[in-house]
Amino acid sequence: MSDTGTQELGEMSDEEKAMMKEWESMAGDDSAADEGGGGEIAADAVPAFDGGDYDGGTRILNQEEIDSLLGFDDDGALNGELSGVMALVNSAMVNYERLPMLDVVFDRLVRLMSTSLRNLTTDNVEVSLDQVSTVRFGDYMNSIPLPAMLSVFKANEWDNNGLLVTDSALIYSIVDVLLGGRKGTPAIRVEGRPYTTIETKLVEKMVHVTMGDLSSAFDPLSPVSFTLDRMETNPRFATISQSGNACVLARLRVDMGERGGRIEVLIPYATLEPIRELLLQMFMGEKFGRDSIWENHLTQELYKTDVQLQAILGETVVPLGEMLNWKIGSKIMFNTRVVDELELRCGDFPMFRGPVGQKQDHIAVRIEKYLEPEKSEE
């Protein structure tokens, strides 16, 4: 051994020295066996590693296979495709069922907001839709760049909530425009302080306009009214769904000259569940196999259907024993008078009511009242 090895050996304990000597003796025996003619057999018994399979041994992965297994493959990363363990880690971003009509709704929202915000700010406002994606609620709340203003709104007809996030750039731009800031000068941001009451009220005015446009955008599908519930600056106080639930996220860009910012609309899938069937349509007015020609023909034929009406002259309740004693010629007394109105029924359903009279030697009933069908109590 060298001087360095001797010095290190001197610092070891007795057990470590004994173990080191035993390893050196084992290594010496192996080298002697190779020189004694057994080298060819040893070389055949332990093949050189080339990254491939061999019979009788354990499968050993090379570096490329390890990277592919763990999902660190450069080729897959460049193509945007994840594999292996990284695909399992990012399985939170699963693709939920696509709702084609949502793209139409948000396109309509962009057009409506462009007009509404121009009327609100009296400035040249351009609204564009960046993307519509699906995210988990918890992941999105952790990714919101603060400071921001989170507006919780309620869909009254659907009995659920949504979220509208306004970033700080748009907040200061709206405040600057509404308070008469000069055109062409970017809004001055003051970081490190909470939003004032004036700023909150001005942004709330814009949020109300956006809520009205969002309601109008959904009107062709299903009438719904969105109302602002509250405004928060802390994401923890704007929790409207469980962290693992899927949500639809629409990112909108609002430009007012050199000023502007982003508005993000987050709607949980649970909120859209009442109109899920409508959102699955491929285009507006899809009939799902219904034939309008056949429907019109069926309606015309139904109008020609004969319906039998019964005029109820009177009703009474008698015991079964008394009815069994009836004979030919027995008389039954009713309380109906000549001036009373009779009820016309179709089966068991009352339809009309009117006085009784005579026309061309026939007893007739003149319909004067329509009886509304009784609502069944659930």
Tens-digit pLDDT profile for residues 101-143: 888 888 889 999 988 888 888 888 888 888 888 888 888 888 8
State the total domains in the chain. 3
For the domain that residue 260 is a member of, what is the CATH number? 3.40.1550.10
Give the residue from 243, 260, 279 where a domain finishes. Answer: 279
| Chain segment 83-105, per-residue pLDDT in tens | 555 555 555 444 555 778 888 88
| Chain segment 262-320, per-residue pLDDT in tens | 899 999 988 888 888 888 876 655 444 456 788 888 888 888 888 888 888 888 888 89
In a domain? residue 285: no
Residue the block writes with tokens 């008469």: 180
- Do 142 and 266 sit in the same domain of this protein? yes
- Do 113 and 61 sit in the same domain of this protein? no
Q: What's the CA gap between 173 and 262, in Å, rounded?
A: 11
Q: Is the pLDDT of residue 39 over 80?
A: no
- Do 129 and 262 sit in the same domain of this protein? yes
Q: How much is the pTM?
A: 0.52
- Do 221 and 318 sit in the same domain of this protein? no
- Do 106 and 249 sit in the same domain of this protein? yes
In a domain? residue 227: yes
| Chain segment 180-198, per-residue pLDDT in tens | 776 655 555 556 677 888 8
Q: For residues 368 and 349, is the Cβ–Cβ distance under 8 A? A: no
- Amino acid 64 reads E
- Do 136 and 232 sit in the same domain of this protein? yes
Domain housing 366: 306-370
- Do 174 and 57 sit in the same domain of this protein? no
In a domain? residue 22: yes
In a domain? residue 301: no
- Do 312 and 270 sit in the same domain of this protein? no
- Do 143 and 268 sit in the same domain of this protein? yes
Q: What's the CA gap between 173 and 188, in Å, rounded?
A: 8
Token pair of 297 as six digits: 């023909």
In a domain? residue 284: no
- Do 88 and 136 sit in the same domain of this protein? no
Q: What is the predicted pLDDT for the residue at 288?
A: 46
- Do 123 and 214 sit in the same domain of this protein? yes
Q: What is the number of alpha carbons within 13 Å of residue 70 lying toward its C-beta?
A: 9
- Do 25 and 68 sit in the same domain of this protein? yes
Q: For residues 278 and 101, is the Cβ–Cβ distance under 8 A? A: yes
Give the residue from 263, 279, 295 where a domain finishes. Answer: 279
Q: What is the predicted pLDDT for the residue at 208?
A: 92
